[in-house]
Structure 1
Amino acid sequence: MHDAIMACFGDNGLHNMGLSKSNRINQNIAASIYQTKIAGHCRLVTITWSKNVMMGHCLQVNVDDPSFHITCKVEMRPWRFWMKQGWKSFATEGHKVEIHWDLSAAKYAIGPEPQEGYYVAMVCDKEVVLLLGDMSNEALKKSKAIPSNIEATLLSRREYLLGKKLFTTKAQIGDGGRMHELMIEFQTASDGEPRLCIRVDRKIAVQVKRLMWKFRGNQTILVDGVQVEVFWDVHNWLFSCTGEAHAIFMFQTCLANEKPWLKDITACRSIKEWKAPCTSTDKEPAGFALVLYASKTP
């Protein structure tokens, strides 16, 4: 379970999704990890959306557990209309697990994840343990299942963004609440010094001057009255010689007032070295982490 959570922080997580460095630079990726209850046990489910200019959209569902591993991959290529809806079933420990999806009318914005007109449902023993999208009634009807008494919890989300100097996305900071627009801007001041500006709903939340000296750091902000710790690591933007270098940004919430993980991450040389706060699916989530990988395009 620890490895599944750790997959959100670092290149290894993207590699596990079957994406080489050359592929990552050409597509947007968004992956969310949920804590669900399947077959009487807490499981980690990763929903990965990707978008490639040549191959179209792709959905991948992974269920990770020491006793079994489920992978369901749907490639929505333009000429494969029949793949945009369907279902797959698996068996584990005498329980039947089904994954249903309908993306035939899905509408997308700038990212790889659809915004409306779709559903993705995971069913175990005729109970919907995970339901995504705005077509819940259709999902329940198609799967012939009922909602589970225990809702899935969003633990973390990672996105791979492409841009020149401006990187934007929309995200739900934590499990529940409204969507927020996040903007990361790499600026150059009049004196030639690089600067970093992070906006939430177009309002400046973090502004870092003298970035050559403060290429790694953290700052606490408020989003909807909730404390969010923002971390940045732009070392590769400033000092890397490779064209595939990316910066990392993380937005971390904590359910408790205390932040025992804060000391650990600030002691790391990079965000990628940090061990996530929630290391077991049998415990209450320690908070929510949004990780953004930002790569500059020519």
Structure 2
Amino acid sequence: MASIVLLLIGSLILTPKSCSSKPISQQKPLDSDHIEFALNLEYLEAEFFLYGSSGHGLDVVAPKLAEGGPSPIGGKLAELSPIVKDIIYQFALQEVGHLSERVPLDLSKSSFAKVMDSAFGRPLVPPFDPYANDINFLLASYVIPYVGLTGYVGANPLLQNATSRKLVGGLLGVESGQDAVIRTLLYQADNQKLLVKPYGVSVAEFTNRISILRNKLGHGGLKDEGLVVSKKQGSEGSVSGNILAGDKYSLSYPRTPQEILRIVYGSGNESVTGGFYPHGGKGRIATSYLKN
């Protein structure tokens, strides 16, 4: 898959449209720009899942993909049960197949703790540790793939090339599956009345807080939902269980690149880096906002 992505980007970059002298902010993004932008999220997922399930990242698993970029900050082996470790490692290898050159990432405990503090509007004591146990790691995982999923949904209708649409459709299928598994495991934990220790907060409440935060940072309206919602907001206005997030027609929500950057930077501003990307994302789309 990595070679397919690289070949596609390379072939699309060589099209006449990419030869415009206009700055990127005044150009219509190419298919290759949308795909290259998506790789920022793929790297975040690959490294986080690799470290959490195996204790090491691309430097060990796929050294060639690690060339040209620094190792992530703070990634470590999580205290996972065998079944969750197996699932997350499968996710990790799936993500490795999507990659090209590495982007600088912050996977430290403090990075995830800041997300959870922002979600609750106060510092959690002790600070949230994504690597502490199954529930914490799954909650941290809840933060990531869904953002990529909404990005693919948003990008797909903008693509001009059939090959690009086929590739993004394939990537979207894997992202959707990963998000569904994560939500299912968390939904099961919430059904068992498991609380997130030592905070005494339900799993569903954690997901709701994270989703509210992402909606707030994205500035794009309601595009994110936790595991439990009001019946009015649930499927067909009939259920509060929300194992898959979707709009009133049960269709996946779309997000723009600007919305995604606002969320993963944790700043609510596509031009202000931070969060998981201390130096910002790579590619013409992401860097164009930094220049602005």
Give the structure-1-normalised TM-score: 0.23
Q: Point out the structure with max Rg over C-alpha.
A: 1
More helix, by proportion:
2
Give the structure-2-normalised TM-score: 0.24
More strand, by proportion:
1
Which of structures 1 and 2 has the larger relative contact order (alpha carbons within 8 angstroms, sep 6+)?
Answer: 2
